[in-house]
């Protein structure tokens, strides 16, 4: 019998019980990291703009240089944060499996095939960009033609198509990052293939689980983002439990002990193998 979303969220709460200090600390480090990069982003763009004012051809070339610098800083920040989040995911995985964990796990993706983690991110980014092309093309023509009714309708339909494509894509390939996190020796293409295979018959479960977490997102927004320090670890741990639950068919049957989880050696954890 497949584990319900309620059960998965109970497991996440149990995993984080007594470990929220480390989890919140990891998220706080990410926030500080982003704040520093934002300050660098603003500083570099401001200095660059001021230094170019008055130069011949500033509007034409100076603006392009400033935009290029800001884009490079933005991309570096995004890629670094993605790698850090891969390490945080591994830390939560270690919590679940009863293995040693620490804030040092945040560097996991940097030291275990970082190019593969980035490969997954870039493939996901490429798909999202491709899905957005029809909408932006129609929007461009709608603007230059004065938003005639037929193009406004097409613009709305293309937007719906983009959203639908992104959702369907996520339902098939949501687990790519979790597969690589568990075994960095997996190749990028293999992660996508395995994710699609694991999600057969489970896409509805994932969609329902995502909907059930919307309230938590709203709570985080309502707290001016502060609540996300606790909410994001809960959501991420819930997703790891979902991944472990549906991938259980490829390993021995596992049973979760809610009353007294076992945290023994590095091979033991709240999951205990049951042989038939």
User: Cα(28)–Cα(31) distance, rounded to whole angstroms?
Assistant: 5
What pLDDT score does 165 carry?
A: 95
What does DSSP assign to residue 106? G
Nearest to 117 by CA among 196, 195, 168, 185: 185
End-to-end distance of the chain based on CA atoms, in angstroms? 17
Specify the DSSP element, H or E, that contains 272.
strand 271-273
Span 173-216, pLDDT tens digits: 999 999 999 999 999 999 999 999 999 999 999 999 999 999 99
Closest CA to 230 of 245, 219, 239, 240: 219
Q: How many CB atoms lie within 10 A of CB 168?
A: 13
DSSP codes of every residue in 29-48: HHHHHHHHHHHHHHHHHHHH
Going by pLDDT thresholds of 50, 70 and 90, the confidence category of residue 54 is: low
pLDDT at 76: 86
The residues near 28 (Cβ < 8 Å, ≥ 6 apart) are 229
Give which of 127, 18, 26 is closest to 85, Cα–Cα.
26
Nearest to residue 262, comparing CAs of 73, 9, 14, 1? 14
Query: Where residue 77 falls among pLDDT bands split at 50, 70, 90?
Result: confident
The pLDDT tens digits of the residues spanning 226-237 come to 999 999 999 999
- For 137-152, the pLDDT digits (tens) are 999 888 888 888 888 8
| Nearest residue to 108 (alpha-carbon basis) of 92, 80, 78, 86 | 86
pLDDT digits (tens, 9 = 90+) for 211-228: 999 999 899 899 988 999
The whole-chain average pLDDT of the chain stands at: 84
H or E, element range at 26? helix 20-52
* Mean pLDDT of the 58-73 span: 68
């Amino acid at each position: 019998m497949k584990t319900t979303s309620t059960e998965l969220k109970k497991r996440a709460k149990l995993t984080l019980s007594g470990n929220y200090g480390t989890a919140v600390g990891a998220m706080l480090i990410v926030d500080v990291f982003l704040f520093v990069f934002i300050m660098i982003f603003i500083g570099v763009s401001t200095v660059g703009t001021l230094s170019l004012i008055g130069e011949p051809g500033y509007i034409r070339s100076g603006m392009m240089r400033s935009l290029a610098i800001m884009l490079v800083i933005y991309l570096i920040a995004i890629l670094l944060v993605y790698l850090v989040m891969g390490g945080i995911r591994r830390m939560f995985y270690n919590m679940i499996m009863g293995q040693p964990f620490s804030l040092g796990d945040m560097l996991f993706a940097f030291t275990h095939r970082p190019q593969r983690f980035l490969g997954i991110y870039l493939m996901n980014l490429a798909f999202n960009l491709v899905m957005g092309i029809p909408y932006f093309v129609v929007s461009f023509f709608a603007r230059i033609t004065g938003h005639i009714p037929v193009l406004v309708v097409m613009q709305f339909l293309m937007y719906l198509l983009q959203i639908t494509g992104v959702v369907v894509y996520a339902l098939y390939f949501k687990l790519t990052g979790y597969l690589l996190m568990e075994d960095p020796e997996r190749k990028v293409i293999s992660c996508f293939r395995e994710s699609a295979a694991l999600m057969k018959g489970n896409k509805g479960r994932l969609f329902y689980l995502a909907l059930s977490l919307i309230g938590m997102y709203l709570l985080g927004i309502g707290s001016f983002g502060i609540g996300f320090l606790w909410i994001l670890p809960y959501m991420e741990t819930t997703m790891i439990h979902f991944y472990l639950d549906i991938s259980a068919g490829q390993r021995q049957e596992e049973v979760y002990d809610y009353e007294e989880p076992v945290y023994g050696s590095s091979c033991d954890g709240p999951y205990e193998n049951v042989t038939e």
